[in-house]
Chain A
């Protein structure tokens, strides 16, 4: 009992102590142990390394960044608790993670004026009317899918409409871009021939693919995560499908190449950042921070997300007292800010938090990801939040 009390007391003392004055405190919500931890860990590594890099080079305007990290295991309740703890510790900005926590905190961060950069690229979070303090540094899910449709439409040579199939999980994340895909596919003259569900945890997609194969699609949208995408690609190889698969941002990375092996050859992956090893200035920094160990694209986006946020904090700090509102306004003043080439240039606007309309289209091979094109779309106002 005494030992328990001691542990409790020690924990409380450490918990209550919040040292340091000339520091900029940033909350980081990470999933290191929950269902999305396979991609959450590299992302969190990226954020952490960016903070370390900035601190090593003098911090922001001479102030060190103090990173307060909580593993919330993709649990909304724990995310809210962590957020409230961060707030008590005096954070000025938050690096969030998934859709569940980002959405649950939308109203909290708006009320407390804590600008949040998350890795949930849900289109509605880019609409300042819905989420006035939320930002992200990648084209949203709907824009990513639209860019792919545009690219394959522009490069289509045959004299018939493209036959499109859709495979997605019956899950908020999978369903989010589907209305946008359907509408834009219709606009471009695609023929939607098949639609089916493959769950995020499914270990077999043969029956769905056999059904889909009968409709002979040219391209199939895959809106899952790594494991379900690997299952789909392997089963497609098994049943001998000719269609090319378009895998979305959380469904194609270096893990997929390992999991699916030769089944990935020739399919496509959408990215909003460069992959490890690309010749951009930021890659030197990342190589320096990681000792040259290859990192996944999620790491690079985590790094870039923190880097862009740090830029907004730097601008806000130069102008006056560092408040959440000042960082929000500084974020909105960013125009074509280049995070060392890691992502396409970023701009946020007062009435439009879409960072850019650029999507990198990669072709996947079992040993590499090859950039095919940088597809840019026009910034249509009616697409905001959709």
Chain B
């Protein structure tokens, strides 16, 4: 690369590299170091937000692989996260080591996801959305009524994860776990997208008949997408269960599925980076609006209640505005910003 102006690629391998320049590597490295040090200088509340972001990143990356890359819409990811949460919880309650339980939770969720992914061979678009909605409703019913296993309406109390004899009983310790798993998940999905499988997913999304005519086995690849996506959703669920330490069916309802869909739409469909942006945005927005509402309330104390209540409406409005003005998501905006600075000060 040295001695040339701009980025040249002389092989496919160089084009598919994650980091095209040393500057990218350096800045990402610094960012990761900053994140790893963050529990030392951030408040407990801020670290807890990071934990929730990490868990949301795993779920969003998972859903984006299925919906954004493979084009298979899923309204059932909230329930898949629930399957992972309950399975992992049951395993740790039975005395399994945490990582074994987490992996097993992911595997069980993958099987469940594949099962509900079977209709995807025949169903597309809105029809598949309805089929996965059915998965959400059926699984919610199971969470609520299989009382002997899930605890039913009363829910399931869990302990903080114990790894190598160390209990991760505060947000800072939990951060390293959620961060590690989130980083691994992001790396996994980013790498899948560079393989034959990833290209097959994208081919199916773009046009299924073309994909089939160039030798992509539609059913096998769709099921694979469901499996990997549900596996990661299960992992997110297992982490969530042990982060909150108390799970009830209410936590894994349709609203959670919609929230994850909102994340990938806001972040950018089919983009790994977009999933991360979306997860950060959707997790932090209610907090930011809450702070804003309180701030506004301090000037107008009598109507602070209404300001607080307005928040949900603003949240909805922001979603709509995104769909209108930024349909390609935050990832697209990020690319534009990068392009701007790359050419700075000679903007075209």
Contact = CB atoms under 8 A, between A and B. Distances in A.
Interface string B138-150: 0001001000000
Contacts of B288: 11
Contact of A81 (B43, B48, B157, B158): B48
A88 B45 contact: yes
B206 interface: no
A372 interface: no
Nearest to A71: B308
Nearest to A35: B255
Of the four ranges (under 10, 10 to 19, 20 to 34, 35 or more), the interface on chain A belongs to 35 or more
B163 interface: no
Contacts of B144: 170-172, 175
Q: Is the interface of A mostly helix, strand, loop or mixed?
A: helix
> Most A CB atoms within 10 A — which of B44, B295, B309?
B309
Interface in A113-136: 122, 124, 130
Interface centre among A30, A44, A75 (most CB of B within 10 A): A75
Interface stretch (A100-108, A334-342, A356-364): A100-108
B312 interface: yes
A37 B160 CA distance: 32
Interface residues of B, number: 44
A176 B154 contact: yes
Contacts of B298: 14
A73 interface: yes
B249 A84 contact: no
A111 B283 CA distance: 24
Interface string B224-254: 0000000000000000000011101111000
Interface string B296-310: 001000000100111
A32 B155 CA distance: 25
B275 to A, nearest CB: 17
Contact of A103 (B152, B246, B291): B246
B246 A80 contact: no
B45 A173 contact: no
Nearest to A16: B43
B305 A32 contact: yes
A87 B312 contact: no
A207 interface: no
A32 B244 contact: no
A243 interface: no
B311 interface: yes
Contacts of A172: 144, 152-155, 248-250
Closest 3 CB pairs of A and B: A107-B245, A172-B153, A84-B48
Interface of B: 43-45, 48-49, 52, 141, 144, 152-155, 157-160, 169, 171, 244-246, 248-251, 255, 283, 286-288, 290-295, 298, 305, 308-313
